[in-house]
Chains A and B, each alone.
Chain A
Amino acid sequence: MAKPNSWPSHIETFVDLSRPPNEQIASRDAIASLLKNDLLTFQALVKEMSLYLTTTDHIIRGRGILLLGEVLTSLATKPLDNTTVHTLVLFFTDKLADWQALLHGGLIGCLALLRRKSNVGKVTGSDARSLVRSYMDNIQVQSLGKHDRKLCFEILDCLLNHHQDVAATLGDDFISGICEAIDGEKDPQCLMLTFHLVADIARIFPDPFGPLAGEVENPKIWPKNRTTRLVQSRYECTMSLLPSFLYCFIGLMCDISLNLVQPNDDFDVKRDDLSKVLMLVFASTPLFEPFVIPMLLDKLSSSLPLAKVDSLKYLGNCSLKYGADVMAKHAKSIWSSLKEAIFASEQESLLSRISESPDAMTLPDNEIAKEALLCLQKFILQEDGLFLGLILEDQDIELILISAASFKNFKTISVENRQKLYALGHMLSASAKVSVACSNKMFQHFFPRLMGTLGLSKKCSTLGCDDSSITSENLNFGALYLCIELLAACRGLALSSEELHSISVEESWCCLVKKISGSLSEVFQYILVTSTTQEVCEADIHCGVKGLQILATYPRRVSPISESIFENVLTIFVSILAAGCGETLLWKLTLKALMDIGAFLENFHVSEKALSYMTIVVEKVVSFISRDNSAMPLPLQLEAVSGIGTAGLNFMLRATQGLEAAISANFFEASVNGNFKSGETLIHLLECFSNKVLPWFAKSGGFEDVAMRFSANIWDQIESNNSFNISDQGKELLDKMMESMKQAVAGCSNGNQGLIVEKAYNILLSSTQFPRKDSLLFSDSMKLEELQVDQSLNTLSCKDKWIIYLFASVIIALRREIHVPNVRIILNLFMNLLLSGHAPVAQALGSMINKLPSTKSNVDTSCACNLEEAMDVVLKMGLSSTSPLRRHRVVDGDHEAVDKPQSVGVCEFVQSKAMVGLAWIGKGLVMRGSEKMKDVVMIFLRCLLSSSKLKTLPSQQDTLQECKEQEIHPLVMRSAADAFNVLLSDSDVCLNKRFHATMKPLYKQRFFSSMMPILLTSIKESDSSMTRSMLYRAFGNVVSNTPLPAVVTEAKTLVRETAIQCLVAMSGLPHTRIFPMRTKVLQAISKSLDDPKRTVRHEAVRCLQAWASISSRSVNF
């Protein structure tokens, strides 16, 4: 806080330019706070400053004025008495003429004064007037710098907003003064201000005979500066009498469209903002109309797409603001401009649109045409009579209609004519969409005519339709296309007002459509029917399908077609589906149309029609799969079923019912009678069920019921069919069945999962073919020592295999909370099976281990089991089997057994299978981050290192002893090395998020960092090449499955060095292969030059040189 008596020194500090800016600011603030706290009066300040304010040194005087102005700015809320304000106004008004002392301070002062509100002492009217006078007389705005120009515009803006009464009386000179000020402005920020200024002026001087009008009509300032000349030459503006600023704005608009005004990023003025504000300026007063509208129309013919889009936007907006009366005189020229824009800009997109996508009736993707159509709609909305009249009487449209009528076939229409036709279609559709009245007029005018072209007009009049009379004579693509556009537009209109019930059935378009719909639908049907027998071009097919679809999806109250015709349409569609023998366009479009109709019925609750849809479409389609329909390939049938189902819940339920029945029947056929073909069918059915039906239910609700029914059904069948025998395709079928089962179970709630697993377990137990079932049952009481591998389990009957595999799939998909009955028995059973190489069993075991509680639960302790106990079982059995001493006969469960090489002994085979099985268990442990994983991993390592010495595994000493005595076969070692891949890679079949696996965060990273040192030392110490190559294999598996960032942070010196050496070696590869990588490698290596380790740096230098020299001998790499 400054002392009251030291304040004159602050003035000195501020005025002295040699002082640093922050000191100046501080001293200014000090003075302001003195004034604010009444420790200093303005009079005293001015008195003290008088020398600075009147000195002949322009710079010091300028600083003095600036100080006063800035102090005033910071006192905006401090009440000042009228005399002070008056004096200050007089002073600053005077200073506006003082151009030598830099205007900046004066402008700041004026602005601060004008901004003062009345409660703190406002500038009086007469003072404001004299200030403006001085401003007008003395300031040449455009000769000032950017910041001063901004201040000037702010002063004007302030005047127009805070002193409206003064501004209103100022008259012609004021307006022309402003016009002069804003003439030629180019800075985006200032432009925003000028736009607001003009909009304000238009607001304050609305009088058509007032000063603004005078300026507009009889400009005092003639266009003379660079911009206006530029506009004239660049855009060939022909208007000569134009107020200069408007001229300027027009130029600006062009520049904005051209992106020539580049808004600076420092200010938040974007091109769109500028464009939007300018649009408001143009629309601010109807006075601008004589200039703006012709100019906008003129610009429409410009070749710049952005300019066109902009002017269309402006045009639409101006027409709304100017009002219908003003715009009426331009209607003709606007209409022809719009017409031109619409017809000209359709060129690229349309043909591909109609031939490729079925949604041919949506708006084109073309900005200009879109904007033009919007603009057209705005005009029609404003004055429908006039504009519609223009459309209806247009000669060009007439010509297109005539030419369309003369060409029957789509192929005979030239590309140019097609484009015109489509453009016309869009235009008609856009106009008809505007309102009910519009669509009435459009229909009355065009519809009878189109019907005439189609040869349907007679039938129109004689109500009763003659069915047989539709021939190819009735087909005229152009007329049909336009019809469809009109119908689609009305349908859209009807749908949008469906809630309001605002459309009466008595509307003329409604009557017209109703009258003709019968025969029209026959024409469409005729196209579709002929297309099945003879060649019909794609456009016609689109027409036929789309036409029927639109007719069928009108809202109920205004529906033009009767129930019977609706049913007829559905029947035709379904028969097309049924006849479909390939993926033709017609078939696809038909299915899509049926799906759309179904979705419409579902969304708008059209109950009667939904009923007929159900009986005609859904039932029929479902019957495709339930009966042996050989005419149609099964995948197509399934596509149809699932497609129709997705239209709505009821339809899907019915479709699912059919699907389930088919699955059930085929499963029976395949399993009991060994029917090969049923098996094939079942594979497709299950695929459809798990890929389409289940995901749909999961998304739309109702999943539980379907999933439960499916799994119950399958288990029931397995249980009841005593003779269960599935022939050759068994494996693929079983895989599909397991996939479906897993998916079904995984999505169920906890309760249902419990029910399923209970049922499956009971069936598993009751399966009579299990040998030693009793001993399994009593294994609760067995000691660990008694556990042993049951060899007789190695031969499984087909039924047992199915039961066990499906049971395994259920286990895989369970949630963590689900209690598995008799865990020990299952563990024992699974371990036995695992050793004979049943992969799904291993996966199930892995999932179980992954989800077991780590502590024993209190309830039901007799058969519950915690992780510790389970792992004891697993390790005991696993170790005993991997010991090379054990030899026993094995017949494998999978077919792979057949392919095994003769030289490989049975024992090795068992061991390698056991490795794979253990890998899945290990994966379960690794994912939950259990310490137990070490035991499993050690088994693998022991296997890998069996031929060399192993030092670091004290816990496994005894078993190790056994190992050393025998060589382990390479096959087993390889399995052990590949087990690391299983451990870390993501699996689709089990132990993932979908199947509720327990996943510790960053488990891969943890495993990686704990495994890497062991593997690396092992590699270094291994002396046999076989062992080393296997260790590298394991190493590779671990590295490639760990997220890259983890690998990179763990990369030790040796790794980095080796990696760089590899890169050096690669530089010797063929030039064409490595050159594309050169820059990347060089960038990466140049970082290694700064590696913390010397050896790495040394290698990096070599590598850099090797890669740099593969192209030019440039030192600047």
Chain B
Amino acid sequence: MTGLINANPTVYERKERRPRTVPSFTNEDEYSPEAIDQLEVFDILFYFLIIQFNVNKYPEHPYSLEELKVITEDAVEVNDKNSHVRVTFTPTVEHCSMATIIGLCIRVKLLRSLPSRFKVDITVAPGTHATEAAVNKQLNDKERVAAALENPNLVEMVDQCLAPSYD
């Protein structure tokens, strides 16, 4: 891959994180469940998003995905009761070749971090990518995701992208 696909991306200011109240250990709190919500899922992704998207291999953007507004908090929909999560991300340009790999990273990260009961849908924001339908189909097809994760090169790439997010 030579040359930058999007040489001059718009960089947004990082949004201030909404602080979560520190849980206290009083007795009434102890047994009240804390549902998995939008903020939590975004948190899961956040640590991954603020990492520069592997500067060495893909030097196109020394910015985090959040700064590029690839994913925003609002783009995450969570329904804990129905065990459903939907993540919509926005590639920087219409023909961004990274769209599928970003989507795969999001999927793997959620796969490892959410209880198995959750169904995760990952879509490209409507009208933001040239091959939107194809990318969506690829990201939400179990067979194809599984096949992709059997490809050692892909797995290595995904792991490299995600590794720092666990620390």
B70 located at the interface, meaning its Cβ lies under 8 Å from any Cβ of chain A in the complex? no
Query: Which residues of A are found within 8 Å of B117, using beta-carbon distances?
Result: 1090
A residues 1022-1068 near B (Cβ < 8 Å) are 1052-1054
Query: Which residues of B are found within 8 Å of A1094, using beta-carbon distances?
Result: 20, 23, 34, 40
Query: Which residues of B are found within 8 Å of A1090, using beta-carbon distances?
Result: 115, 117
Complex CA gap A1101/B167 in Å reads 11
Query: Which residues of A are found within 8 Å of B116, using beta-carbon distances?
Result: 1086, 1089
Complex CA gap A1013/B166 in Å reads 32
Contact A1113 B44, beta carbon cutoff 8 Å: no
Binds A, one of B2-10, B86-94, B106-114: B106-114
Measured CB to CB, the closest approach of chain A to B9, in angstroms, equals 29
Measured CB to CB, the closest approach of chain A to B80, in angstroms, equals 10
Query: Which residues of A are found within 8 Å of B30, using beta-carbon distances?
Result: 1052-1053
Q: Assess A1105 versus B112: contact at CB under 8 Å? Given A1092-B34, A1113-B159, A1116-B149.
A: yes
Complex: chain A residue closest to B158, CB-CB: A1115
Contact A1102 B166, beta carbon cutoff 8 Å: yes
Measured CB to CB, the closest approach of chain B to A1059, in angstroms, equals 15
Query: Which residues of A are found within 8 Å of B34, using beta-carbon distances?
Result: 1092-1094
Query: Which residues of A are found within 8 Å of B114, using beta-carbon distances?
Result: 1089
Complex CA gap A1052/B114 in Å reads 21
A691 located at the interface, meaning its Cβ lies under 8 Å from any Cβ of chain B in the complex? no
Per-residue CB proximity of A1081-1105 to B under 8 Å, as 1/0? 0000010011011110100011011
Max chain B CB contacts within 10 Å: which of A1053, A1054, A1102?
Answer: A1053
Contact B149 A1101, beta carbon cutoff 8 Å: no
Query: Which residues of A are found within 8 Å of B44, using beta-carbon distances?
Result: 1101
Complex CA gap A1106/B117 in Å reads 22
Q: Which of the four size classes fits the interface of chain B? A: 20 to 34
Contact A1101 B113, beta carbon cutoff 8 Å: yes
Contact B112 A1092, beta carbon cutoff 8 Å: no
Complex CA gap A1115/B145 in Å reads 11
B156 located at the interface, meaning its Cβ lies under 8 Å from any Cβ of chain A in the complex? yes
Contact A1093 B23, beta carbon cutoff 8 Å: yes
Q: Assess A1095 versus B23: contact at CB under 8 Å? Given A1102-B166, A1113-B155.
A: yes
Question: Which of A1013, A1086, A1095, A1115 interacts with B108 by CB under 8 Å?
Answer: A1115
Query: Which residues of A are found within 8 Å of B156, using beta-carbon distances?
Result: 1113
Query: Which residues of B are found within 8 Å of A1114, using beta-carbon distances?
Result: 155
Max chain A CB contacts within 10 Å: which of B20, B30, B108?
Answer: B30
Complex: chain B residue closest to A1103, CB-CB: B166
Question: What is the number of residues of chain A that contact chain B, defined by CB distance less than 8 Å?
Answer: 23
Complex CA gap A322/B86 in Å reads 79
Measured CB to CB, the closest approach of chain A to B14, in angstroms, equals 22
Q: Assess A1054 versus B115: contact at CB under 8 Å? Given A1094-B40, A1105-B166.
A: no
Contact A1052 B112, beta carbon cutoff 8 Å: no
Measured CB to CB, the closest approach of chain A to B141, in angstroms, equals 16
B residues 104-157 near A (Cβ < 8 Å) are 108, 111-117, 149, 155-156
Query: Which residues of B are found within 8 Å of A1113, using beta-carbon distances?
Result: 155-156, 159
Complex CA gap A1093/B30 in Å reads 9
B51 located at the interface, meaning its Cβ lies under 8 Å from any Cβ of chain A in the complex? no
Complex CA gap A1106/B23 in Å reads 25
Query: Which residues of A are found within 8 Å of B158, using beta-carbon distances?
Result: 1115
Q: Assess A1104 versus B115: contact at CB under 8 Å? Given A1092-B34, A1093-B23, A1113-B156.
A: no
Contact A1115 B40, beta carbon cutoff 8 Å: no
Measured CB to CB, the closest approach of chain B to A581, in angstroms, equals 69
Complex CA gap A1101/B155 in Å reads 18
Contact B111 A1053, beta carbon cutoff 8 Å: no
Query: Which residues of A are found within 8 Å of B12, using beta-carbon distances?
Result: none
Q: Assess A1115 versus B23: contact at CB under 8 Å? Given A1052-B30, A1101-B112, A1101-B113.
A: no
Query: Which residues of A are found within 8 Å of B36, using beta-carbon distances?
Result: 1097
Complex: chain A residue closest to B40, CB-CB: A1094
Question: Which of A1053, A1089, A1116, A1117 interacts with B23 by CB under 8 Å?
Answer: A1053
Max chain A CB contacts within 10 Å: which of B36, B44, B115, B159?
Answer: B115
Contact A1054 B112, beta carbon cutoff 8 Å: no
Complex CA gap A1117/B23 in Å reads 31
Query: Which residues of B are found within 8 Å of A1092, using beta-carbon distances?
Result: 31-34
Question: Which of A1013, A1089, A1102, A1106 interacts with B115 by CB under 8 Å?
Answer: A1089
Give the top 3 A-B pairs by smallest Cβ distance, nearest first: A1092-B33, A1090-B115, A1105-B166
Q: List 27 A-B contacts (CB under 8 A).
A: A1052-B25, A1052-B30, A1053-B23, A1086-B115, A1089-B113, A1089-B114, A1089-B115, A1089-B116, A1090-B115, A1092-B32, A1092-B34, A1093-B23, A1097-B36, A1101-B113, A1101-B166, A1104-B112, A1105-B112, A1106-B166, A1108-B112, A1113-B155, A1113-B156, A1113-B159, A1115-B108, A1115-B111, A1115-B112, A1115-B149, A1117-B112
In the complex, besides A1093-B23, A1115-B149, 16 extra interface pairs with C-beta distance below 8 angstroms are A1052-B30, A1053-B30, A1086-B115, A1090-B115, A1092-B31, A1092-B33, A1093-B34, A1094-B40, A1095-B23, A1097-B36, A1104-B112, A1113-B159, A1115-B108, A1115-B155, A1116-B149, A1117-B112
